[in-house]
């Protein structure tokens, strides 16, 4: 997504040990802290969801996960999880259901889109998890 303005956000499709489905969206700088994120969310642990579940629930394939796919989750089984710091960036850049293009959206419009899909996002502060991870390496 070279040449795009704003924050290049990263969306992933995760599931917990209990089979709860989540779709964290966060900046690239914090994408590697899923273990601490699971603790923050009160989930037993996160793992990446299966490609079949991803397609059945969100209608996209691996590498194309995006908050826009929530439009395909008509049963409301996926909980969007958003990085608070990411929402401070404007615009945000995401794939529009396919990973061969990039589209931009303002944080306010992203939240309105998510609400229009009848999902309620969990907005959490992830930057401190990034600091905790760095501190644990020292």
Domains with residue ranges and CATH for the chain: 7-137 (3.90.960.10)
Residue 15 has pLDDT above 60, yes or no: no
Residue 100 has pLDDT above 60, yes or no: yes
Mean pLDDT computed over every residue of the chain: 77
**CA 117 – CA 9 distance, rounded (Å):** 20
Distant-in-sequence, close-in-space partners of 22: CB < 8 Å, separation ≥ 6: 14, 15, 16, 41, 43, 46, 78, 79, 80, 81
Residue 10 has pLDDT above 70, yes or no: no
pTM: 0.74
Instruction: Tell me the pairing of strands 14-16 and 21-27.
Output: antiparallel
pLDDT, average across residues 45-69: 85
Q: Given this model, what pLDDT does residue 137 score?
A: 41
């Amino acid at each position: 997504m070279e040449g795009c303005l704003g924050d290049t956000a990263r969306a992933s499709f995760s599931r917990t040990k209990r089979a709860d489905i989540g779709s964290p969206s966060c900046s690239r700088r914090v994408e590697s802290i899923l273990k601490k994120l699971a603790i923050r969310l009160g989930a037993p642990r996160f793992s990446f969801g299966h490609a079949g579940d991803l397609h059945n629930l969100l209608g996209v394939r691996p590498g194309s996960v995006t908050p826009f796919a929530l439009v395909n989750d008509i049963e409301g089984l996926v909980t969007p999880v958003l990085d608070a710091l990411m929402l401070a960036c404007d615009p945000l850049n995401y794939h529009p259901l396919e990973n061969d293009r990039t589209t931009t959206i303002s944080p306010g419009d992203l939240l309105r889109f998510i609400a229009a899909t009848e999902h309620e996002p969990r907005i959490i502060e992830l930057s401190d998890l990034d600091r905790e991870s760095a501190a644990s390496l020292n």
